[in-house]
Amino acid sequence: MDQQPTQPTTSGRPDDCCWICLEGGADAAPCKCSQRPVHKACIARWQLERLGDREEHECRFCNGQLPPWQDTLLPPRTRPAAEALVNVHGPDGTLHRIPLAPGLAGRRRFLMAVRSALRLPAHVPLEMSFELAVPGGAAGGAPPRTISTSDFSLASRIASVNAGIRRAGKEAGGAGAQAGPEAKRRRR
């Protein structure tokens, strides 16, 4: 009797293993991929990390339409903020909080503010990387899940989502106000 080895999951059932986090208890597939169960929060974070790409809205396997990630990751009636404050760490250890808004105009304003805060002339190359707390990325008391990216568009969108969550939490009297830092910028 040959038995196929199965991957252990937290529920003990291999057929409910989430294809993203590889943990058990995955919900039904959100698209046409009935053989690929996934947690709603996992697929929503996957989509958020692919903002602007086809995979934000379509399954990479079956090209089926995915549900909006906002419905899973954002608290009810929460919308991204128009602008977020970003912690910019200077090479001398100083910390600057600089507004960050999505789009080309937001990028230009952000870069000018970073150059001004760090006293960098226009001819000095500026390389950026962002560390972002992913909304809905922490369960229980675990630290928030973070991603690193040099993609300004992705960083500005996730930062505005986090700022919207914090704003909604403050308006509701503190619930949700503890979201992680929206982004950090480092000069290399």
What is residue 187's predicted lDDT score, i.e. its pLDDT? Answer: 43
Tell me the residue range of the domain where 42 lies. Answer: 13-70
- What would the pLDDT profile of 22-34 be if each residue is shown by its tens digit? 888 887 778 887 6
Same domain membership, residue 25 and residue 105: no
CATH number, position 36: 3.30.40.10
Please report whether residue 78 resides in a domain.
no
Same domain membership, residue 62 and residue 122: no
Evaluate if residue 180 carries a pLDDT over 70.
Answer: no
Please report whether residue 2 resides in a domain.
no
- What would the pLDDT profile of 71-89 be if each residue is shown by its tens digit? 777 777 777 788 888 888 8
Same domain membership, residue 170 and residue 140: yes
- For residues 63-92, one letter each, b for 16 or more C-beta atoms within 10 angstroms of the residue's C-beta and e for the rest, the string is eeebeebbebbbeeebebbebbbbebebee
- What would the pLDDT profile of 35-54 be if each residue is shown by its tens digit? 778 888 888 888 887 877 88
Q: Tell me how many domains the chain contains.
A: 2
- Longest C-alpha distance within the chain, in Å? 72
Please report whether residue 29 resides in a domain.
yes
Torsion angle in degrees (nearest 10) through CA of 114, 119, 122, 128: -40
Please report whether residue 8 resides in a domain.
no
Same domain membership, residue 96 and residue 66: no
